Structure 1
Amino acid sequence: MSSIRDLSTEADWLEAYPVMKQLRNHLTPERFLELVKEAAATEGYRLAALYEEGKIVAITGFMPMLTLYNGRFIWVCDLVTDSNERSKGYGEKLLSYVEKWAKDHGYDIISLSSGLQRQDAHRFYEDKMEYEKKSFVFLKEL
C-alpha cells in the first residue's frame, strides 16, 4: 500500500536524492541538499515522497509563488517517478496530493513547466491531469 509523506529533514532529503537524480541528473548529493535547504528556508519549497512498501518510488517538489500573471499560486518545481516504477499511477497520486495541499492552503492555481523533449509527461499533464498548455518558458544562462 502506498503512502505520501512530507520530507522535512536532511536525512529525508538525502533518502529522496536517488529518485530526484533521475530528473535532476546535474546535481550532486551535496548540491541537492544545499539547494533544498535554501529553497525550503527562503521560498517555502516542500518535498513530498510517495512510498511503496517503505521505499520512495516518486517525489514532488513545490512551492508557493506570487506573480502578477497568476496571483498566489503553487509552482511544481519537480515531479519524478523512479524509472523502474513508472506507469503505476504514482505521478497522478503525487500531483493530486499537491492539488489538495494547494486547496487546503488557499491556492486556486497550480503551474509547472516541462522540458520540450518530455512528450510523455506532456500527455500525462494534459490528458490525465487536465492541465492546459498556456505558455513557453524561456531561459538564458548568463
Structure 2
Amino acid sequence: MDTLTIKELQSRNEIIEAFPVMKQLRTHLDENTYLEIVIAAQENDRYKMFALLDGGEIVAVTGLKPMITLSSGRFIWICDLVTDTTIRSKGYGEKLLTYVHEWAKENNYESVSLSSGLQRTDAHRFYEDKMKYAKTSYVFKTTLK
C-alpha cells in the first residue's frame, strides 16, 4: 500500500476510468447513463468523486455531496463508496473514507453521513465497527411514476 494516491475525478476520461469499480455498486447503470448522471450532479449538485489508486490503478471510488440541512448543519453526504470486489479487506475503503473525513474537516463540515442498502451487512460492519459510524435514522424511498 505504499503506492497509494487519492485524486479527485473531474474530467470525462477520469470519470469513465472509475466506471468498472463503480459499476460493482451501481449495477443498474450503463457507462453512458453513469457519465451523464455524474456530470449533471457535478454541475448542478456539487457532487465530487474521488478515487483511491494503487500503483496507478483505481481500487476504490467515492462520490459525495457537501450539504447543509436544519437537522445536520454542514455535512458531507456520501452517495457512493465502493472498493473493487476482487481486492476487498486490504484497507482501501478505510483509507478512502478517512480521506473524506479529513477533506470534510479541512472544508469546515461538521459530520459525514451515508445510507447503506439493508442487504449490505458486510458494509454495515465496516461502517459501525471499523469506522465508528452510528445508525441514526432509516432512509425511506418511493418511486414516482
- For residues 2-54 of structure 1, the C-alpha deviation after alignment (integer angstroms, 9 at most, x for no partner) is 11111110000000000000000111111101110011011111100011111
- For residues 44-84 of structure 1, the C-alpha deviation after alignment (integer angstroms, 9 at most, x for no partner) is 11100011111101000001112111011100000000011
Task: Tell me the equivalent position of 1:93.
Answer: 95
Give the alignment of 1:1-142 within 5 angstroms: 1-142=3-144
Segments of 4+ moved more than 2 angstroms: none
Give unpaired runs (5+ residues) of structure 1. none
Give unpaired runs (5+ residues) of structure 2. none
SS class of match (2:18)? helix
TM-score (norm 1): 0.98
SS class of match (1:114)? coil
* Number of positions where the alignment pairs a residue of Structure 1 with one of Structure 2: 142
Percent identity of the aligned residues? 57
Letter aligned with residue 43 of structure 2: A
- For residues 109-130 of structure 1, the C-alpha deviation after alignment (integer angstroms, 9 at most, x for no partner) is 1000000001110010011001
TM-score (norm 2): 0.96
Distance 2:19 2:78 in 1: 17
When the two chains are superposed, the root-mean-square deviation of aligned CA atoms in Å is 0.6
Say if 2:22 and 2:82, in contact at 8 Å, map to a contact too.
Answer: yes
